[in-house]
Structures are given as structure tokens and as C-alpha cells.
Amino acid sequence: MENFKRRDFIKKASVVATAGSASLLAGCSSSQQDKTTPRARSEKTFEWKMVTTWPPHFPILGEGADMLAQWIEEMSDGRLKIQVYGGGELIPALEGFESVSQGVVQMCHGVSYYWAGKAQATQFFGAVPFGMNAQQLNAWLYSGGGLELWEELYEPFNLLPMPAGNTGVQMGGWFNKEINSIADFKGLKIRIPGLGGDVIAKAGGSAILSAGAEIYTNLERGVIDATEWIGPYHDHLMGFHKAAKYYYYPGWHEPGATLELITNKAAFNQLPPDLQAIVRAAASRANVWMLSEFEAKNNFYLKKLIDEHNVQLRKFPDDVLNTLRRYAAEVIDELVSKDAMSNKIYASFSEFQKNVNSWANLSEKEYYTGISS
């Protein structure tokens, strides 16, 4: 029986291959015909502006936005030029969503949870506490219907979103006191955006939203007691070890934070098809490059923080993480119960996470715990 199935499979594969060869030959013939009658390419040029939520040319994040613009100009042979402005250079760092929506600028690079005041459901495309990691989020967005939902959410705002980076699993943050129990969050003022901030509020703390450029000063002056940012590479460069004593992990609040490129949809639709494709390709390239940079640098800088600056590394106690997980479930339940779009998006998100975790438990989890060293 098995031999029959194998022969049947090989036979079917041969038929497909033969059909594919015929299609390829037909395609070659069409290509030759196309060469005799080339499609006219629009030579119209476009000059756009991109704002970001990051300080100008900020490592990886701002650099990635700069490179994205550079790649688009190179691939378009100069037909689409994009001037990049860091947060505060052209507009305030956290006003990109509205500025692109209104057509003041054509693009913004940032994270979607910054726009929760415009639409609560935006947060599901940035980071979800105890949610999916970068690899899983990319799978949901590109292959699980997530991107289509993201586009549907942004449609009323005249915006087109695209994944354009990911930080990977983040650190838990910098604290000026130890976290030994959930009670230690009471009265704590911590810089943390998105759904993670709502979880902190349930734990009795105060979530403060501020742009990256303001964090160190706020921490140093006691405006905040703690902060999360990204991971060891950036945290070292930001100098947080000079203003806080304890460095906590894991980043339960952002296990994988998708960075986004949002484009004014009307402006995007005015581009010729090849330029539209170039913008999408550059965003995908940025998505891969930024995550790769974080993965390449974080462990090196974690060792520097510990070995050279005597940073005290701490793991959140299991009972603290379990309580935060319960609060996160409550926060999400409250949100989806009162917002139809959040309910629709999270239904897709959570179902995909359930399925992808089942596979991860058999694949990556077993690899890391049983084989990898």
C-alpha cells in the first residue's frame, strides 16, 4: 500500500513538473514577445517625506528607516526619493499616524501601539503581552491573514501598513528597586506603552508613555521609577545602567514587537505599480535586517553590561509572571468585549498563536531544551 502511494505521488509530481515545463516555455515565449513590444515605464519622479518615532539616525531603528528610504531610491533608479526625519525634527515623535493620515507627510516608521488613542486595535500589531515572538508574528502577518486585518483596520484613516522590522524578544526593563512580588508594582511609575501599560495599571502601577529620547532624563530625574525599552544593545547605548540598578527579564510585555511602515494610501495609489512593489519589497527587507541586527548584537552588549558595568541581572519571579499573565488576559478580555475590531483581530491572533505554539512545542522548544547548548 505504501509503495502504491509513493508511486502515485511520484506520478502526480511528474505530471506537475511536465505542466510546469510547458508553462515555463510558454512564459519564455511571452517574454520574447514582450521584448519586442516593451511596456512603457513611467518616468515620473516623486519626492516624499518619512517621519519616525525614533531619534534621528537612531541605531538600528532610525538607521533602518534611513536604509529603507535609500533602498527605495536605489531600486527605483531615483524615481522615488524619500527624505527621512527623526522624531521631533519635523513633527513631534508621536504624531506620525495623524500626519500621514492627513497627507502632511507620506510615510512614518514606528510601532502601532503608539496609536492606541486613534484605534485600540492597533496595539495587536505592535506587541501583545505573553503573545507571539517575531518569527510567529511574521508568520501570522504574511501567511495567516494578519496583514489583511491590519490593512482593514487602517483603511478608514487613509493609511496602508506594512511590517518593517522587529525587535525580537525584549528585556523586562530597568528598575530602581527589586521586584520580589506583584505588590512591588504598586505605586511604581514605569515608562511602558501599549497593552503592557494596561497590565501594569492592573498591578497598581502607573504606565507612562514617552518618546525614546526622553526616557533617560525622566529616569535620572525620578519622573519615572523604571523603564522598559528594547534590549541590551540599545539599553547600553542609552546609558540606562547609569540611572537604574536592576535589569529584569524576560520581556513578557513585548515578546516580539513588530515595527511598522505606514504610508498615506492615496499617495501610495498614485505610484506606478513597479514603485508600489518596490516600497513593499524595501519594507520586507527592513523587516529582516532589523531583527537580524538585534539578534547579532544583544548578547554581546548584555555581557558588557554585566562584566563592565556590574549591572545586576534579575529574573521576574514565577509568581509575578503568572499574575501578570492573568492581568494580561483580563486586559485583553475587557478590550475585545467593547471594541468590535479588536475582537475580530484578536480572534485571528489568538487562534494562530494557539496553533503555532503547538508546533513550536514540538520543534523549537525541544531543540532548545534538549539539543541546543
Per-position DSSP letters for 144-197, written without gaps between them: SSHHHHHHHHHGGGTEEEEEEEE--S---EEESS---SGGGGTT-EEE--HHHH
Q: Which residues of 193-229 are buried (b: 16+ CB within 10 A; e: fewer)?
A: bbbbbbbbebbebbbbebbbbbbbebbeeeebbbbbb
Rounded to whole angstroms, the Cα distance separating 353 from 347 reads 10
Delimit the domains of the chain by residue range.
Answer: 46-167+256-294
Residue 109 CB neighbour total at 10 angstroms: 28
What is Dmax (Cα atoms) for the chain?
Answer: 75
Q: What is the pLDDT of residues 247-268, one digit of tens each?
A: 999 999 999 999 999 999 999 9
Rounded to whole angstroms, the Cα distance separating 165 from 146 reads 15
The pLDDT, as a whole number, for residue 170 is 97
The pLDDT, as a whole number, for residue 211 is 80
pTM of full prediction above 0.75? yes
Reading the block at residue 342, the C-alpha cell is 479588536
Reading the block at residue 368, the C-alpha cell is 532548545
The pLDDT, as a whole number, for residue 369 is 86
Under 8 Å between Cβ of 262 and 100: yes
The pLDDT, as a whole number, for residue 19 is 45
pLDDT-flagged residues of the chain (< 70): 1-40, 372-373
* DSSP for residue 207: E
CATH 3.30.70.240 for domain 46-167+256-294, yes or no, is no
Containing 77, the helix (H) or strand (E) segment is none
Cα dihedral across residues 30, 31, 32, 34: positive or negative: positive
The pLDDT, as a whole number, for residue 213 is 80
